[in-house]
Structure 1
């Protein structure tokens, strides 16, 4: 049966708390769970205590060695490639539970999407906190939702502090970089319906020329590049993981003229949409 959409996994919410928490036991290539490519309707926070794991996230390979943390955002297509002796923790969270600061940090982190290595003290703190959260999570009648939510906020705070520290080490915080980050976040929300640089400039209350200037200064590419890049990433997801026709994909991404979409795809990707589907499915 033709696949018309990318599988979407929903957060198991039997507890009514908007989270799912469990330990990840040591795994190897033989006993690792065979999980097909999918999206999630929630955020996934991973803490690897030790081992080696490789994941594919939106056609980009992510590798974790030793102790580290990583986050996959709602909507990103992902699946495991390899797990060698990997063990740690998985925390699935309804993103509406994050407070304003934590959500801002995670959104900024998602623009870069790098795994963050931990030292022994950081790993120990996160491990002890998650153990406590798991104890509370498994006995909700004993501890009550208020205690569980408080401990969840602590764990999310540790994750986001680790992300924030890494972001600050890797990026220089200037007004142009802040505007670029704001633009990229707006783009993630609106790329299917808003494709004009001037509309994004309006959302940010700045001129189109200034938005182009600062985005090119900080990223090396103009606004139009990032708009096309985001649209084409979603197109590639749909081409690879579904059986939707090119015409259906074009319409779903806001293009009434599918021939224009096809020309744009070739221009951005260097190959036709049909060639991309054929080559990546081999």
Structure 2
């Protein structure tokens, strides 16, 4: 059963609550009855599979997740998921501002932990006692989400905060815990700046200037902690955005090139081929996704 989070009514994004939580079973049941699931593309989305299998298509890749795996999707990413009939788990979506209102420090920890781990796959496995504790909190969130009593929003924020603390604890146990070093801080700042400027800044020296370090030092540190050079990350971020524009908006080569700061479409076409290994026209006609399994 395929579910997308591109929710639009008459061409406009539907007005949705800043926090939604559903069991995977209820999403399946609603989909069978023709109901549109409330999974907005402008929100963070956390999929926690307790059992069964969930197939997630994210941008140009496919991931298979199952027992006690948590997968997180950023706002704006092209996303669909296919839920196995026997799958159990939860889907929690929330606006970035919502978690910031809940706890600014927790919001920062969540973004750094999940999306600055120098790993392109935002996935973790839940272990031990945390499974039952997190499931209990998620069940209480669903119960509160479905009622109309006073102070409902405040209680939901409290439950979300507790749930996210458990998630961040698991991430910390699951990672190499390099977040406190000066080098990792520099790399996180680089990725932050890359996210802001990938369409306008394409040279290593431009990011080095922003971060007040030499290009060679920035490249050495990024390669040491991420396994890839600064140039590689810049190129792949541009290619990823180009693919999104094709998948989401059906952009042409010329439109994509101009939107990403390339004034010569032919130059962009060569850039895309060199960085992705595939011709832009061939990609637009029909791309091949890579499937990864987390079981």
Give the TM interval when normalised to the shorter protein.
0.7 to 0.9
Cα distance in 1 between the residues matched to 2:242 and 2:6 = 15
Match of 1:163 among 144, 148, 171: 171
The match for 2:203 is 196
Contact 2:16/2:40 (CA < 8 Å) preserved in 1? no
Contact 1:108/1:181 (CA < 8 Å) preserved in 2? no
The match for 1:280 is 287
Contact 2:145/2:152 (CA < 8 Å) preserved in 1? no
Match of 1:251 among 258, 262, 268: 258
Please give the TM-score of this superposition, normalised by the length of structure 2: 0.79
The match for 1:110 is 115
Cα distance in 2 between the residues matched to 1:25 and 1:39 = 18
- 1:119 lines up with 2:127 in the alignment: yes
Cα distance in 2 between the residues matched to 1:192 and 1:43 = 23
Contact 1:52/1:64 (CA < 8 Å) preserved in 2? yes
TM-aligned CA distance change 1:280 to 1:74, over 3 Å = same
Contact 2:24/2:83 (CA < 8 Å) preserved in 1? no
Contact 2:272/2:280 (CA < 8 Å) preserved in 1? yes
SS in 2 for 1:192: coil
> Alpha-carbon deviations, 1:67-117, whole Å to 9, x = none?
221111112212125525211111111112332343343344224224222
Tell me how far 1:276 sits from its aligned partner.
Answer: 1.8
The match for 1:184 is 191
The match for 2:20 is 20
Tell me how far 1:243 sits from its aligned partner.
Answer: 2.6
Cα RMSD for the two superposed structures: 3.2
Contact 1:250/1:256 (CA < 8 Å) preserved in 2? yes
Cα distance in 1 between the residues matched to 2:6 and 2:202 = 26
> Alpha-carbon deviations, 1:31-56, whole Å to 9, x = none?
69999xx9811100122121111212
The match for 2:293 is none
Contact 2:110/2:164 (CA < 8 Å) preserved in 1? no
SS in 1 for 2:53: strand
Across the two proteins, how many residue pairs are aligned to each other?
A: 270
Gaps of at least 5 residues in structure 1 are 1-5
Bigger shift: residues 110-119 or 254-263: 110-119
- 1:136 lines up with 2:144 in the alignment: yes
The match for 1:150 is 158
TM-aligned CA distance change 1:88 to 1:222, over 3 Å = same
Cα distance in 2 between the residues matched to 1:11 and 1:21 = 17
Please give the TM-score of this superposition, normalised by the length of structure 1: 0.82
Bigger shift: residues 210-219 or 257-266: 210-219
Tell me how far 1:274 sits from its aligned partner.
Answer: 0.5
SS in 2 for 1:45: strand
